[in-house]
Amino acid sequence: MSEQNILLKVENLKMHFPAESTWFGKPTKFVKAVDGIDFQIESGKTFGLVGESGCGKTTAGKCVLRIYEPTEGSIYYQGTDISKITESQLKPYRRSIQLIFQDPYGSLDPRQSVGSIVREAVLADGKKKAEADVKARIEELLTLVELDPSMAGRYPHEMSGGQRQRLGIARALACEPKLIVCDEPVSALDVSIQAQIINLFESLQEKLGLTYLFIAHDLAVVRHIADTIAVMYLGHIVEMMDAGELYANPCHPYTKALLSAVPVTDYYTEQKRSRIVLEGEVPSPIHAPSGCPFHPRCRHAADLCKTQMPPLVDQGGGHFVACHNY
């Protein structure tokens, strides 16, 4: 991957939230939601960030959007470290990096019509525009997300879940973004609608050259859209590689367990597969285990795993694994 093509580069990103403090307000314990992650996304590509709830993937996305101020680390967007700049310097980046929510209904004002929701986004840059141009742009955006422009007069409660998510996408596209952080954008939808929205994301990427940071808990969803996938566990990336390689050759015990839970459409393959059931719960990030964060649930854990954190190492061909066994 050439440096020039990299749209987003995240280095040693940490987001620690104070969890307990002294009488004087000095924090004594932290929730280490994200604890030193590195990744980069090539322009026009999709990077999937996957893991169970509480692994830190959404927090990482919110840091990229500067909804959270990272505790440590750098976020380079087109070569500029946007983690350190002021709110006024951030303004142009705010339009260029957009967010698509998990729950489109929760993010849409129920009192606003479809047309006025998109209009608001079209006018958000503060530039003067002729009414005819605004109307044409609203129509263009609705068509782009495969909604009939005649729906402009409807309200969000009159739409299906899939239509509402399309509206959320139209609103994000109004700002002409380069990077879209998609936070579980299909997990609230029926499976058949999920496929339609994933296809829409793909066709928009082709048409508009968009780059996605695609956050999901479900590997089955990400496999269809991502070029590169990183698996997160307790604030750390434990495995990262090309999407095809991840499904053909998963190395980390946690990734293997996650993959074993993804249903396979072929009946005979499904019959031959054995499911890896993980024991116990994800530990609290306030009391994260020493050494490898996965060791209390790992069937291969050795003494070393309990004391030493395995580094994320390239095992060859850009396949990164954080495990003492590799």
For position 295 contacting ligand SF4 by CB under 6 A, the verdict is yes
Q: How far apart are CA 15 and CA 31, in angstroms?
A: 8
CB of 321 to ligand SF4, least distance (A): 8
Looking at 156, 162, 253, 285, which residue binds ligand SF4 (CB under 6 A)? 253
DSSP 250-296: --SHHHHHHHHTS--SSHHHHHH----PPPS-PPPGGGPPSSSTTGG
84: left (phi over 0), alpha (psi -120 to 50) or beta: alpha
For position 256 contacting ligand SF4 by CB under 6 A, the verdict is no
CB of 311 to ligand SF4, least distance (A): 10
Nearer Cβ to ligand SF4 (30/233)? 233
For position 73 contacting ligand SF4 by CB under 6 A, the verdict is no
Q: How far apart are CA 11 and CA 75, in angstroms?
A: 6
Looking at 162, 298, 312, 320, which residue binds ligand SF4 (CB under 6 A)? 298
For position 292 contacting ligand SF4 by CB under 6 A, the verdict is yes
Looking at 300, 307, 311, 313, which residue binds ligand SF4 (CB under 6 A)? 300
For position 243 contacting ligand SF4 by CB under 6 A, the verdict is no
Q: How far apart are CA 38 and CA 323, in angstroms?
A: 16
Nearer Cβ to ligand SF4 (149/283)? 283
CB of 139 to ligand SF4, least distance (A): 52
- Interacting positions 305-324 with ligand SF4 (CB under 6 A): 305, 310, 323-324
Nearer Cβ to ligand SF4 (100/323)? 323
Rg, Å, the chain Cα set: 21
Neighbouring CB atoms inside 10 A of 56's CB total 26
Angle among Cα 109, 68, 217 to the nearest 5 degrees reads: 75
Q: How far apart are CA 153 and CA 149, in angstroms?
A: 9
| Residues near ligand SF4 (CB under 6 A) | 252-253, 292, 294-295, 298, 300-301, 305, 310, 323-325
